[in-house]
Amino acid sequence: MSDVRRALLVSPTDAAEDAARALRERDDWVDLAQADEVVALGGDGFLLQTLHQMLETRRILPTFGMNLGTVGFLMNEWREGGLSARIAAAKTFSVNPLKMEAVTISGERVILPAINEVSLLRETRQTAKLEVTVNDRIVIPELVCDGVLVATPAGSTAYNFSAQGPILPLGSAMLALTPISPFRPRRWRGAILPDTARISFRILEPGKRPVSAVADQREVRDVTRIDVMIDKVTALKLLFDPEHALDDRIAMEQFAV
């Protein structure tokens, strides 16, 4: 018997609940507060929700996800048997989240983490106008667009890739800065920056052209300034079957057709 205590977190779907019943019959589980490791059943969205819960409580545990959702890019294959052996043989990946600091028109300051990306999006039919700064240097005085996002390597195959951004290999120590439907500058298609960069956005005409900032799935509306940087202190730990390791998945997405 292993001395490792595991918590089972389950997405509220029929498939995940059915799988959870099977695992509870096979193994012993503890509450999250007493656990050393976490097994998450669901899709990518549920895994992100689980990881955000850990960030909020500041109790970060190694997490082994099994896909019972739609895409499951961040998940392992669902199998009922041999779970302890799989986790013992799993490859560990450390993922540092982004930290978003946003200031609203009313002066409220909001700090949120993001594992995949921070995105700025126009709130109305009016295009957004943004000033883009990297490490206190203005690199684009006026970006006219539907929005812009900053993505981590772990999130580079998600919204970032859909917006024509680059796929970043895990461990590349890079961030993707990707515009969403840019109008001006017409030829600017984004940038790849070191993950030591501090990226700032100032909203031009925030009253006329309101913009929201979204850290993964959490939105702050009517922002005037956003600062984005990697949280070097915090590291999330994801566990993967060796044959389905996250770094290989991200690399192979570059060859997907």
Local structure of residue 256 (DSSP, 8 states) = -
Confirm if 237 and 93 have CB atoms less than 8 A apart.
yes
Q: 18 — phi, psi (to 5°)?
A: -65, -45
- In the chain, the DSSP E strands lie at 6-10, 37-42, 63-67, 91-95, 98-104, 109-114, 117-122, 128-134, 137-145, 147-151, 174-180, 191-194, 199-204, 211-215, 218-220, 223-230, 236-240
**Which one from 3, 31, 36, 44 is the annotated catalytic residue?**
44
Encoding tokens for residue 113?
Answer: 């983490």
Q: What is d(CA 198, CA 84) in angstroms, rounded to the nearest whole number? A: 41
Tell me, yes or no, if 44 is annotated catalytic.
Answer: yes
Distance of CA 62 to the CA centre of its chain: 16
Answer whether 99's CB lies under 8 Å from 226's CB: no
Residue type for position 3: D
- 37, 61 Cβ separation under 8 angstroms: yes
Question: Quick one: tokens of 253?
Answer: 């997405």
Residue 15: how many CB atoms within 10 A of its CB?
A: 15
The count of other CB atoms within 10 Å of the CB of residue 3 is 5
Annotated active-site positions, please? 44
